[in-house]
Amino acid sequence: MKIMSVVGARPQFVKLGPIVRACEQHAELEHIIVHTGQHYDPLLSDVFFRDLGIPAPNAHLGVGSGSHGRQTGAMLAAMDGVLEEYQPDWVLAYGDTNSTAAAALAAVKQHIKLAHLEAGLRSFNRRMPEEHNRIVTDHVADLLLAPTQVAVDHLAAEGLAERTLLVGDVMTDVCLATRDAVRDDAVTLPAGVDPEAPFVLATIHRADNTDDPSRLREILDALKGAPVPVVLLAHPRLAALAKKHGVSLTAGSLVASEPLAYPQMVRAVMAAAGVVTDSGGLQKEAFLLETPTTTIRTETEWVETLEDGWNILDPGLTQLAEVMVRPRPEGAQAQPYGDGHAAEHAVQALVDRA
Ligand code: UD1
Q: Where are the domains of the chain?
A: 2-169+338-352, 184-323
Which pLDDT score, from 0 to 100, does residue 331 have?
A: 87
Which pLDDT score, from 0 to 100, does residue 91 have?
A: 99
Long-range contacts of 16-19 (CB under 8 A, 24+ apart): 16/52, 16/54, 16/94, 17/48, 17/52, 17/53, 17/54, 17/174, 18/170, 18/173, 18/174, 18/177, 18/342, 18/343, 19/92, 19/117, 19/170, 19/343, 19/346, 19/347
d(C-alpha 102, C-alpha 136), whole Å: 10
pLDDT (tens, 9 = 90+) of the chain, 354 residues, equals 999 999 999 999 999 999 999 999 999 999 999 999 999 999 999 999 999 999 999 999 999 999 999 999 999 999 999 999 999 999 999 999 999 999 999 999 999 999 999 999 999 999 999 999 999 999 999 999 999 999 999 999 999 999 999 999 999 999 999 999 999 999 999 999 999 999 999 999 999 999 999 999 999 999 999 999 999 999 999 999 999 999 999 999 999 999 999 999 999 999 999 999 999 999 999 999 999 999 999 999 999 999 999 999 999 999 999 999 999 999 888 899 988 999 999 999 999 998
Q: Say which CATH superfamily domain 184-323 falls into.
A: Glycogen Phosphorylase B; (3.40.50.2000)
CATH architecture of 2-169+338-352: 3-Layer(aba) Sandwich (3.40)
Indicate the residue type of 132: H
CB 6 within 8 A of CB 103: yes
Residues in the chain: 354
Return phi, psi of residue 50, to 5°: -65, -55
Among residues 116, 154, 205, 235, the one annotated as catalytic is 205
DSSP secondary structure letters along 182-239: HTTSPP---TT--TTS--EEEE---HHHHSSHHHHHHHHHHHHT-SS-EEEE--HHHH
Q: For residue 245, what is the enclosing H or E element? A: none
d(C-alpha 244, C-alpha 132), whole Å: 28
Which pLDDT score, from 0 to 100, does residue 34 have?
A: 98
d(C-alpha 280, C-alpha 198), whole Å: 24
Q: Would you tell me the crossing angle of helices 262-271 and 170-182 to the nearest 10 degrees? A: 70
DSSP state at residue 55? P
**71 CA: nearest ligand 1 atom:** 35
Nearby residues of 189 by Cβ (< 8 Å), 6 or more positions away: 195, 199, 231, 257, 268
Instruction: Identify the residue whose C-alpha is closest to ligand 1 atom 22.
Output: 236
68 is catalytic: no
d(C-alpha 78, C-alpha 297), whole Å: 34
CB 277 within 8 A of CB 268: no
**Identical topology for domains 2-169+338-352 and 184-323:** yes
CA nearest neighbour of 232 among 275, 289, 281, 288: 275
Instruction: Identify the residue whose C-alpha is closest to ligand 1 atom 21.
Output: 39
CB 14 within 8 A of CB 166: no
Q: Which residues have C-beta atoms less than 6 Å from ligand 1? A: 9-11, 38-41, 44, 65, 96-98, 129-130, 205, 235-237, 240
d(C-alpha 330, C-alpha 335), whole Å: 15
Instruction: Identify the residue whose C-alpha is closest to ligand 1 atom 13.
Output: 9
Top mutation candidate among 39, 216, 277, 300 for ligand 1, by most atoms within 8 Å of CB: 39
- Prediction pTM value: 0.96
Which pLDDT score, from 0 to 100, does residue 332 have?
A: 87
